[in-house]
Amino acid sequence: MFTQHFSKEILTLVNIQEKNQDRLLLKANVVGVGIAFKVIDGQKTDSIGITVYVSSKMDISLLSKSDVIPKSVEDVKTDVVETGVLFAQSDISLKNKVRPARGGYSVGHYKVTAGTIGTCVVDATPFAGIPNAYYILSNNHVLANANNAHLGDPILQPGHADGGVLPYDVIARLARFVPIDFTGGCNYVDAALGQGNFDDLDREIYWSGNVKGIRPPDLGMTLYKTGRTTGHSSGYIIGINATVMVNYGGGKVAKFCKQIMTTPMSQGGDSGSLMVDQDGYAVGLLFAGSTTVTIANDIQYVLQALQVKFR
């Protein structure tokens, strides 16, 4: 289990959220539950509570009694925010072929349209010396085709949708990925690695520079990302410890827990982008979103799951 890094006040809300979120997720149109600032008339307030994210807001008269969101959960006020349906973002600009390849550029498993290189990483060994391997960091659904891949499969840069073809544009081979559970269990990361040659990979992120380290997410924190579709963009964290239902197409939906939710700062094809704070510290790995929110894995969980580090 991943470690927590929240204040005492937030942890109290987290415990209440996690005791009640499965019941809330069963209600009609609910796609997520998290800790967030309350929003009134479209404006963020300083009040923090439990937010229930819905694909669309409906008049209470159209809902069954069991599907109405309660006004409070264990004396904590709830807020209802419309996000639309949440989709894993992989689709069509940083889509040119480039060597060495940097974070922000197009990449993808040879059977995937295209996503984004987060950055490049090495194994998290405690020993000094020459790294055994160098990797591209991105999402499972970008590099491992949402579980439908084999270790050693070719990774193209640019991705197939951006003109990448076999064998000329192979930059890496699928080395590791965290399988996505589509059976209802909690997922914490949508993450994978492609192993490539040292001289083909670069730790620099286009427009953001090199990663200086990692920092935990915090409500209101400003984040930046560079992605193949929308380029360099910024947003701020509106929800933490979120549990969300993410649509991967073809009827496949996965539950993700302990996620970061930001204002909208991405579109399809930006999946895999690394989200950094204003000082250049990594906070999240972008993987999903809608027209109103962007969702990212906590980078601490990503590095832990894949056993890698930035430097």
| Mean pLDDT of the 150-179 span | 97
Residue 245 has pLDDT above 90, yes or no: yes
Degrees to nearest 5, angle at CA 177 with 176 and 183: 150
Residue 288 or residue 131, greater confidence: 288
Residue 129: partners with Cβ closer than 8 Å, 6 or more residues away: none
pLDDT at 1: 58
Is the pLDDT at 85 greater than 80, yes or no? yes
Q: How many CA atoms lie within 13 A of 138 on its CB side?
A: 43
The domains of the chain are located at: 92-205
Q: What is the pTM of this model?
A: 0.88
pLDDT (average), residues 185-208: 97
What's the CA gap between 88 and 84, in Å, rounded? Answer: 13
Upper half-sphere CA count for residue 105 (Cβ side, 13 Å): 24
How many angstroms separate the Cα of 269 from the Cα of each of 81, 90, 190, 302?
25, 4, 14, 19
Instruction: Please tell me the predicted confidence (pLDDT) of residue 8.
Output: 87
Mean pLDDT of 197-218: 96
Strands 72-73 and 76-82 turn out to be: antiparallel
Decide: 50 and 70 in contact? Cβ < 8 Å: no
What is the SS3 string spanning 94-161? Answer: CCCCCCCEEECCEEEECCCCCEECCEEEEECCCCCCCCCCEEEEECHHHHCCCCCCCCCCEEECCCHH
pLDDT tops 70 at residue 3: no
pLDDT for the residue 215: 97
Strand partners for 103: 205
pLDDT tens column, 23-65: 999 999 999 999 999 888 778 888 999 999 999 888 888 889 8
* pLDDT, tens digit, 9 for 90 and up, residues 124-153: 987 778 888 999 999 999 999 999 999 999
User: Is the pLDDT assigned to residue 4 strictly greater than 80?
Assistant: no
pLDDT at residue 261, as a whole number? 97
